[in-house]
Amino acid sequence: VQKARIYGQLTLHHFYAKEYDKVIEYVQMIPEPKKYENHKDAYNNRRDNLINYKALINRIYLPFAYYYMGEEDRGREELIKLFENTAKEETPSSILEGWCGTCLRYDIFLKEAEEWAGKAVELYYKGIDEKKEELRNLTDDEERKEKETVLKLVENEMCYYVLFTHAHIASYNGNYETAIEIWKRFPELPEGSNAKSYKPRAKAYLGAVYIKSGKVKDGEKIFEEILNWEDKRNAYFYLIMVCNEYKIKIKEALEWIENDMEEYGLGKICWIMDAYAGLLFENGEVEKAIEWEEKAIEQMQYNIFSRNLERFKAALK
C-alpha cells in the first residue's frame, strides 16, 4: 500500500511538472492491489483499498505522457491495454470510470473514453446483478448482512459516477442525444449521499446540453427553474460551471456571478474562480481572466488549472 501511495504520487508530481520520461518510469512501478482472501478482509481494509484505487487511477498518465511527448499512437495503444486488462478484473467499473473521467478533464482520447465509459456502466450493472445472486446463495447471516450493507452502498452511490461520466464524455463528443437520455434518468436514481450533489448537477448539464444541441427553449426553461431555487449559492455554482464548460450564456453567466459573487461566497471557491476566468476569457477580458486563473491556482491543491492559464497568456502574445 505504501508503494502504491508513493509511486502514485510521484507519477502525478512528474506529470504536473511535464517530466514525462519520469511519468513513464514511475507509473510502471505502481504495484497491483492486494487480493484479499475473503470479503471480510476487504471490508476491513477499505482505507488500503482507497489508496490502491487512487494509485491505479494515476496509471492513466502513462498514455498521457506518450501523448504529450508527441507519440499519440503509442499513447492510444497503452490506453487500450489499460482498459482491456482492467475490464477482466472482478470489479472494474470504478477504475474505468476514473480513467475516463481523467481523459475528459484533459480532453485526451475522448472517442476511446466514451466507448469505455459506456462499458463501465454495463460492467457496473453486471456486477450488481452478480452480487445480488451471491447474496441469494449465502447461508451465513453475518456475512450476508455485511455484503448487503456494502452492496446497498455501491448500488446507491456508484451509479452516479459511471452514468455521469458516460453522459459527460458523450456530450463533449457531440453525442447530445445520448447525454440527454442519461441525464434525464437522474431523478429516478436511488437516494444516497451522492444524490444531493449529482442530481442538481445533472439538471444543470441537461439544460446546457439542450442549449448546445439547439433545443434552446428546453434548456432555458431548465436554467430558469435552477435560478428560482431557494439555494442560490448552488444554483449559481452549477450554472456558472456548465456555462463555462459548454461556452454558452457567457454574458448572462458573468452577470450572475458578478452580481452575487460576494453575497454567496463564490469568489472563494477554486472551481468557480476557474470557471469565472474561463467566462472572462470567452468575453474577451483576457487580462482579468489571467488574474482570476492565478487566484484559482493558488487555492487548488493540484495544479490542474495551469493549462488554462497558459492558454490565456498565449492569447496576449
C-alpha cell read off for 272: 468557480
Share of the chain above pLDDT 70, in %: 92
Q: Stretch 35-57: mean pLDDT, rounded?
A: 59
pLDDT per position as a tens digit, 171-206: 999 999 999 999 999 999 888 778 888 999 999 999
User: In the chain, what percentage of residues exceed pLDDT 90?
Assistant: 55
Helices 195-212 & 232-246 angle (0-180, nearest 10): 40
Q: What is the pLDDT of residues 73-92, one digit of tens each?
A: 999 999 999 999 888 876 67
* Radius of gyration from C-alpha coordinates of the chain: 21
214 — alpha (psi -120 to 50), left (phi > 0) or beta? left
> Mean pLDDT over residues 95-114, rounded?
93
pLDDT of 156 above 50: yes
4 class by beta-carbon count within 10 Å (0-12 exposed, 13-18 middle, 19+ buried): buried
Helices 61-68 and 2-16, packing angle to 10 deg: 20
pLDDT classification of 143: cutoffs 50, 70, 90: confident
Q: What whole-number distance in Å separates Cα of residue 12 and Cα of residue 106? A: 14
User: Helix or strand or coil: residue 27?
Assistant: helix
Q: Quick one: CA dihedral 238, 189, 93, 144, positive or negative?
A: positive
End-to-end CA distance of the chain: 46
Cα gap 31→4, rounded to integer Å:
6
Q: Running DSSP on this structure, what letter comes out for residue 89? A: S
User: Residue 117 — very low, low, confident or very high, per pLDDT cuts 50/70/90?
Assistant: very high
Q: Place 261 in a pLDDT band, splitting at 50, 70 and 90.
A: confident
Residue 45 has pLDDT above 60, yes or no: no
